[in-house]
Amino acid sequence: MDTLPLPDDGTAAAPPTPDELRELYSLMAAVRRLDASAVAWQRQGVIPGYAPELGQEAAQVGSGYAVDTSRDFVFPTYREMGVARAMGVDMVEYMSTHKATWHGGLHDPKTSRLAPIQAVVAGSVLHAVGWAHGQTLDGSDAVAMTYLGDGASSQGDVHEAMNFAAVMKAPVVFFVQNNGWAISVPTERQVAGGSVAARGAGYGIPALQVDGNDVLAVLEATRRAFAHCRSGKGPVIIEAMTYRRGPHSTSDDPGRYRSLDEERDGAGEDPLRRFRQQLLSAGLADEAFFARAEASAAAEAEMVREGLEALGPRPGSEMFDLVFQETTPALESQSASWREESEHV
């Protein structure tokens, strides 16, 4: 489905150049390698937990690549490493969140334009709408993009966020990664009607459902959505249909709720293999290019691992410093108790 009007003022984005196409593939290759490495790091004790995104590289890189980091702002969940990488966020700083540092990561949201990882299911959509509404009050043409899954779409926060955004014409893109599973529950058992994008009609929000395994289709859809929001016409819903090829998290066992045959049948064509074939068919890349992309991805993953292992523990006192803008008596009391028990002050 596609209810998003086409631009009629000549503002449609130009198709990606050959260099951009090759960059998109390199980004996807880097994300694939880093994602697999992060799972291994969790097993090795380098990080305590991680939410894999195998199979969702096209949805994440294609959407993240469309962001204008000079003005827009992205509000992720806990599974948007590929978005962060496409936006140019330092991966050691981003992955430090998964190392469980006290303050939730080292990357600076203000400069990177990526909000901290949100572990509360659907929590990021409310933050995005609030920020986007602030841009309309300031007269800015900046756009917020918030990520959620098909499972999160069943939360009440999503209804509140979409309703408010539609009423106030907030410039926010709701990017739904429908990966087929709400942890162990398939989409058809928890999304009434089978489509999150279809709900847009109830809010008066234009929406489109896109092949989430096609990086170019995702990029085009996201650019269209941003142009719509930037022109003052309000929010857009994008539902990228993809598939979570691995577990929900490193503590999940997908074998308890689906078979390997079901996983293979449901996953469809691999997004990297698909885009690789497109580039080969168009004569825009050769085997030497793909070899370089893989080598670069492997080197980057090793660099990130070294950076993570070099990180020391954060001062425990930070958990009290970064709660409120102005401290409270209760927080001061807790801080004093912690210092007495932990630092013997």
Neighbouring CB atoms inside 10 A of 4's CB total 21
DSSP H or E run through 68: none
Catalytic residue among 33, 244, 245, 305: 244
Q: Which three-class secondary structure string do you get for 168-237?
A: HCCCEEEEEEECCEECCEEHHHCCCCCCCHHHHHHHCCCEEEEECCCHHHHHHHHHHHHHHHHCCCCCEE
Q: Looking only at Cα atoms, what is the longest distance across the chain?
A: 68
Catalytic residue among 257, 258, 292, 339: 257
Partners of 185 in the β-ladder: 182
Catalytic residue among 133, 248, 276, 305: 248
Strands, E, within 16-143: which ranges? Answer: 73-75
Report the C-alpha gap between 131 and 138 in whole angstroms. Answer: 11
Report the C-alpha gap between 31 and 45 in whole angstroms. Answer: 21
Report the C-alpha gap between 318 and 163 in whole angstroms. Answer: 36
Report the C-alpha gap between 102 and 109 in whole angstroms. Answer: 16
Token pair listed for 270: 């691999």
257 a catalytic residue: yes
DSSP 341: I
The dihedral built from the CA positions of residue 110, 112, 113 and 117, taken in this order, carries a sign that is negative
Report the C-alpha gap between 233 and 251 in whole angstroms. Answer: 42
Q: Which residues are catalytic?
A: 244, 248, 257
